[in-house]
Structure 1
Amino acid sequence: MEKIMKITEVLCQTLQKKSIDILNAMDLVSNTKVLLRDLRNDGWEPLLNEVMDFCGKHEVEIPDLNRRYADVTKSRNKHDNTTTLHHYKIDVFNVAIDQQLIELEDRFSSQATELLSLCASLDPRLDIFDRSKISTLVEKYYPADFSNQERAQLECQLLHFQLDVCNHPELSSLPSLADLTNGLVKLGKNSHYPMVDRLLRLVMTLPVSTATTERAFSAMKLAKTRPRNKMRDDFLRSYMIIYIEKELAAKITSEDIINSYDLVGSRRGKFKLIEM
């Protein structure tokens, strides 16, 4: 398990981030699969030698690997000719690695990998920017979000979008597609490329990582307890945003809250007097 966790550590830490680069994430998934397969094929003998050295150093009795393995969970009346070597290599070592590979395949299937690869072709600052792949992305995964006329508009806007992003210093230096989407809004260029902006926003909703979703459900268990089961959806939504986005909430001061409370609508009582 220590060796498996060392291999998957980098991928796990990357997927925990709220905003990650799609290409780097997919590279890490592929690299993790390769390393796990290499460990399965070539890692047993080195591991066994490490165990033997540890046992010899600490005077631990080394079991006979060719002896029949006695499984205390099974009935003694059942005849099982499984050897100790077979049990630890096949039933423990290989199974532990296979479970990790199966989970990676389930979470990052060929369809999900294709979708993320097509999304990565949206970045005009990279050599993989490909209008044909973007058209495939829209036709295959977002057919209900774009009409035929809007798809034609998208193809026209992509030409200008590519040149504009690459030539604009404030956009070309942004680190990710999410930042690029925000940059278009900040500069008012999203109105020039409405179809591109729509596609970027759709791509930003892709659950590359389940960390935010899992964090939301964990927070909900803490927030909506039995005494609070009558909490309305609006209040729960606001509470959850503050709880999950703790980094942003930490920047809000008590003075900001008081000012917002006093300025929104008419209140019977005021936290402080508003200067006229």
Structure 2
Amino acid sequence: MHIVSTSKLLLQQLRDGRWCNFLANVKDFCEKHEIEVPNMSAQYVFGRGRSRQPSVTVEHHYRIDVFLATIDSQIQELNSRFNEQTIELLTLSCALDPKDNFKSFNIEEISKLAEKFYPLDFPSNELNILKSQLQHYQYDIPNHLKGIGTLSELCNKLQETGKSRTYHMVDRLIRLVLTLPVSTATTERAFLAMKIVKTRLRSKMADEFLADNLVIYIEKELAAIFDTNSIIDDFENRKKRRIAFS
């Protein structure tokens, strides 16, 4: 996550003031490999037609339409997938990582994780209990549970050894962190399904009808169990109808 943050920073620096250096490197590469370098001051021609051509130089085209557009696309993709809140959440979650004999363990970061991102699961009184348990946890668990590489393995070991009852608040937080990949995948899956279900021809689909269609599409394996007759029977049994369906 720190590398993601620095990558975004370096991309922004490249966008803001590194065009000249980048262009010089490209020219050096072209000259070295005998590639023709276009006249950057000449007018850039869009397509084949020469009528109504905008007054844009070759350098302007490559700097604005190619260089900056590519960097903006990369920054936008990183921001959409890793915004500041997501980066902080995943960075704080690393404090629970048992790798290298709990090298990343940090009570302050773990407490901040619970307080900021899981306030409903850890009210103020339970947050104090969590901090108290963490103080014992940092000396107890590394000495008794060694060679653990992942958070899921740690969760299983805590359950097997009964330590999950001793450190029930820590165990609760670990389980919440383990649900992050599932919740993220579920959200991405729902958005992908929405693009398929709500097309341009179905753009006026109401929210309730859209939600019903998404449930059936996403849970298609479960929906395949029900046949048409069972759905009709269930609909008929909900209340009295003027006309019998069967």
TM-score class, shorter: 0.5 to 0.7
- Per the TM alignment, residue 92 of structure 1 is displaced from its structure 2 partner at its CA by 0.3
Q: 1:141 Cα deviation (Å)?
A: 1.2
* Superposed displacement of residue 179, structure 1: 2.4
Q: Which of residues 49, 73, 79 in structure 1 aligns to 2:28?
A: 49
Q: Which has the higher helix share?
A: 2
Change (3 A) 1:48 1:105: farther
Q: Deviations over 1:222-245 (max 9, x none)?
A: xxxxxxx97535969xxxxxxxxx
Aligned partner of 1:164 among 129, 134, 140: 140
Could you tell me how far apart the structure 1 residues matched to 2:74 and 2:183 are? 17
1:75 is displaced (CA, Å) by: 8.1
Distance 2:25 2:159 in 1: 55
- Structure 1 residues 158, 97: CA separation in 2 closer, same or farther (over 3 Å shift)? same
Q: How does 1:77-92 map to 2 (within 5 A)?
A: 77=52, 80-92=54-66
Which deviates more, 182-191 or 118-127?
118-127
Aligned amino acid, residue 178 of structure 1: S
Q: What is the correspondence of 1:101-140 to structure 2 with a 5 Å cutoff?
A: 101-123=75-97, 125-126=101-102, 128-140=104-116
Unaligned segments of structure 1, at least 5 residues: 1-25, 222-228, 237-276
The residue number in structure 2 matching 1:252 is none
Post-superposition shift, 1:50? 2.0
Say whether 1:203 aligns with 2:195.
no
Structure 1 pair 110/218, CA: closer, same or farther in 2 (3 Å)? closer
- Compute the TM-score of the two structures, normalised by the length of structure 1: 0.58
Question: Match of 1:207, SS?
Answer: helix
1:186 is displaced (CA, Å) by 2.9
Deviations, residues 120-148 of structure 1 (Å, cap 9, x unaligned): 22347455533233222222211111233
The CA distance in 1 between the partners of 2:121 and 2:184, in whole Å, is 24
Q: Percent identity?
A: 43
By how many angstroms is 1:205 displaced? Answer: 1.5
User: Aligned-pair distance for 1:114?
Assistant: 1.6
Contact 2:102 2:142 in 1 (8 A): no
Residue in 2 that maps onto 1:28: 3
Query: Which residue of 35, 38, 43 corresponds with 1:63?
Result: 38
Give the whole-Å Cα distance in 2 for the aligned partners of 1:51 and 1:135. 54
After superposition, the Cα gap between the structure-2 partners of 1:120 and 1:70, relative to the gap in structure 1 and judged at 3 Å, is: same
Question: Matches of 1:34 and 1:174 in 2, distance apart?
Answer: 34
Q: In angstroms, what is the RMSD of aligned CA positions?
A: 3.8
- The match for 1:232 is 222
Segments of structure 2 that go 5 or more residues without pairing to the other structure are 197-218, 227-246
One-letter amino acid matched to 1:76: S
Among 69, 73, 77, the alignment partner of 1:99 is: 73
Q: 1:116 to 1:65 in 2, by over 3 A?
A: same
Matched, 1:192 2:182: no
